[in-house]
Chains A and B, each alone.
Chain A
Amino acid sequence: DGGITQSPKYLFRKEGQNVTLSCEQNLNHDAMYWYRQDPGQGLRLIYYSQIVNDFQKGDIAEGYSVSREKKESFPLTVTSAQKNPTAFYLCASSIASRGRTEAFFGQGTRLTVV
């Protein structure tokens, strides 16, 4: 089945550690996105990529890093520099064309710093 898969669903991290969240899609989408959601809040864009080996910072990129070595994969690393990393992280993908940007989301990863 075509879709977008995030793993793991739940992740615990000790303070000071980096952690990488996985996002894989088999929809043949060019564009991929990472969003952060805090309780009762909307979605804030961390990074997005419209093509392999290229990505742009979103509104809250500090303390995060990404890579886009393959079309299917867009992993997000939450570094120790992110001061408040506990949140729900959502990955999405879409066709990269103007006017047709139906983004589809994964099930999310809930990261908790302990």
Chain B
Amino acid sequence: GQQLNQSPQSMFIQEGEDVSMNCTSSSIFNTWLWYKQDPGEGPVLLIALYKAGELTSNGRLTAQFGITRKDSFLNISASIPSDVGIYFCAGQLEEYGNKLVFGAGTILRVKS
């Protein structure tokens, strides 16, 4: 079953707004990954995090690996319409070797 809690489940954005989402778990992770999926396509890797406390940016995206190794967040600054899609966090569990576990996803939609 799922071992990652991703929130929020969905959110509406207005162009120019900052967006924040996070993943938490009761388990310790070696790696945190953030992906974006467009409809009908495979997820695309946005950011990879490998060390507790690590803060990494990719353009308007910033993600952090929590100090406790049990959580991570992703921020999107100054959102644009093409940011809509589904964002997934994924983690490599310490006790499961290379097995990747995915969160349920955060659906980003545009306010009309």
Q: A-side interface residues toward B, CB under 8 Å?
A: 6, 31, 33, 35, 40-43, 45, 48, 50, 56, 58-59, 88, 90, 92, 94, 96-108, 110
Task: Check A107/B42 contact, CB under 8 A, given A45-B99, A101-B33.
Answer: yes
**B88 proximity list for chain A (CB < 8 A):** 42-43
Complex Cα gap A100–B50 (Å): 7
Q: B-side interface residues toward A, CB under 8 Å?
A: 1-2, 6, 30-31, 33, 35, 40-45, 48, 50, 88, 90, 92, 97-105, 107
CB pair A48–B99 under 8 Å, yes or no, is yes
**4 closest Cβ pairs, A-B complex:** A105-B42, A42-B104, A43-B102, A101-B92
Complex Cα gap A110–B99 (Å): 24
Contacting residue for B100 out of A40, A98, A100, A103, CB 8 A: A103
Task: Check A100/B31 contact, CB under 8 A, given A42-B2, A42-B102, A59-B1.
Answer: yes
Total A-B pairs in contact (CB under 8 Å)?
A: 72
Task: Check A33/B100 contact, CB under 8 A, given A105-B42, A105-B43, A106-B42.
Answer: yes
Minimum CB–CB distance from B45 to chain A (whole Å) comes to 6
Complex Cα gap A15–B103 (Å): 31
Task: Check A98/B30 contact, CB under 8 A, given A45-B99, A59-B1.
Answer: yes
**A41 proximity list for chain B (CB < 8 A):** 104-105
Minimum CB–CB distance from A87 to chain B (whole Å) comes to 13
Complex Cα gap A110–B6 (Å): 25
Task: Check A99/B50 contact, CB under 8 A, given A42-B2, A42-B105.
Answer: yes
Complex Cα gap A97–B92 (Å): 11
> Residue of B at shortest CB range from A95?
B98
CB pair B41–A96 under 8 Å, yes or no, is no
Minimum CB–CB distance from A68 to chain B (whole Å) comes to 14
Complex Cα gap A7–B94 (Å): 32
**B99 proximity list for chain A (CB < 8 A):** 45, 48, 56, 58
